[in-house]
Amino acid sequence: MNARRVNAAAGVLHAAQARGRATAAGLAADLEAAGLLQSPETAEEMRALRARVAELEAERHTTNDALASMTVAQRAAEGRADGLAVDRSVQRLRAVLAPSGAEPEREAAAWAVSTGEIGQGGEVLRLFATREMACEYVRREGLPFSLDRAREQEDGSLYVEGRTDWLGVDLHAVTGLGLAAGER
- The four Cα atoms 123, 125, 129, 132 give a dihedral, to 10 degrees, of -110
Query: 84 or 154: which carries more pLDDT confidence?
Result: 154
Residue 105's pLDDT band (cuts 50, 70, 90): very low
DSSP letters, 91-145, are HHHHHHH-TTSSPPSS-EEEEEEEEEETTTEEEEEEEESSHHHHHHHHHHTT-S-
Residue 179 β-bridge partners: 174
Residue 61's pLDDT band (cuts 50, 70, 90): confident
Q: Name the amino acid, one letter, at 56.
A: L
Checking if the pLDDT of 80 tops 80, the result is no
Helices (H), 3-39: 3-18, 24-33
30 three-state secondary structure? helix
Q: Are 111 and 93 in contact (CB under 8 A)?
A: no
